Amino acid sequence: MSFYAYSIFNLTKSVNAIPNLRYAHIDNQLVEWQELVPTFTHFNQETELFYSLWLEGLTDYKSVDREYKKLIKEYANTTDIAPMGDVPPNVVNISSIPWMHFEHFSSQAAANKNNLTPMITSGKYEKVGSKLLMPVNIKVHHATVDGYHVTLFFETLQREMNR
């Protein structure tokens, strides 16, 4: 079982639990997606390049893990940043920096034209006592998300990761 797939599953589940994180600004209209799908980065250690993939319509961890491993194998030798083609409009951007533990991370890159798209970055997890601690940063747009919603996200994520 892949810990990265497990975290992608739980990060996505937690984002989808908070309506304010599912808003989009499309054609000057505020839209609420029924569901966001994860677009996530994968790092090719041989080429030292990363690429973005996504998973749709998966409801349980085992299917996410299976599909994640299938996609990684299928696109293992790609040099394209988006080998699956156009990214769906209803995404949450997920990336990982598994080489370092951090206290803050900021990324200003926009993966699509919807500036309300959440961007989540996780870091290296560390064992402290009996707990695994993993830094998680979420970038949101204050027009639709406040500190209250970010708190709900982190509470939901903690609950899901503890299962």
The residue to which tokens 């994860």 are assigned = 38
- Rounded to two decimals, the pTM is 0.92
Q: What angle do CA 134, 137, 99 make, to 5 degrees?
A: 50
Rounded to an integer, the average pLDDT of 118-136 is 94
Domains contained in the chain, CATH given: 3-161 (3.30.559.10)
Helix ranges (H only) for 86-146 are: none
Task: Count CB atoms within 10 A of the CB of residue 108.
Answer: 6
User: Can you give the pLDDT at residue 111?
Assistant: 52
User: Can you give the pLDDT at residue 104?
Assistant: 79
User: Can you give the pLDDT at residue 89?
Assistant: 92
Paired strand residues for 23:
32
User: Can you give the pLDDT at residue 21?
Assistant: 98
User: Can you give the pLDDT at residue 46?
Assistant: 87
**108-118 pLDDT, tens per residue?**
665 556 678 89
Q: Which of 101, 141, 142, 149 is catalytic?
A: 142
User: Can you give the pLDDT at residue 107?
Assistant: 72
User: Can you give the pLDDT at residue 115?
Assistant: 79
Please state, in angstroms and as integers, the Cα–Cα distance from residue 10 to each residue in 30, 80, 157, following that order.
Answer: 26, 27, 6
149 is catalytic: no
**Strand 136-139 and strand 119-123: pairing?**
antiparallel
User: Can you give the pLDDT at residue 109?
Assistant: 60
**81-103 pLDDT, tens per residue?**
999 999 999 999 999 999 998 88
Contact 11, 38 (CB under 8 A): yes
**18-76 pLDDT, tens per residue?**
999 999 999 999 999 999 999 999 998 888 989 999 999 878 999 999 999 999 999 99
**2-13 pLDDT, tens per residue?**
899 999 999 999
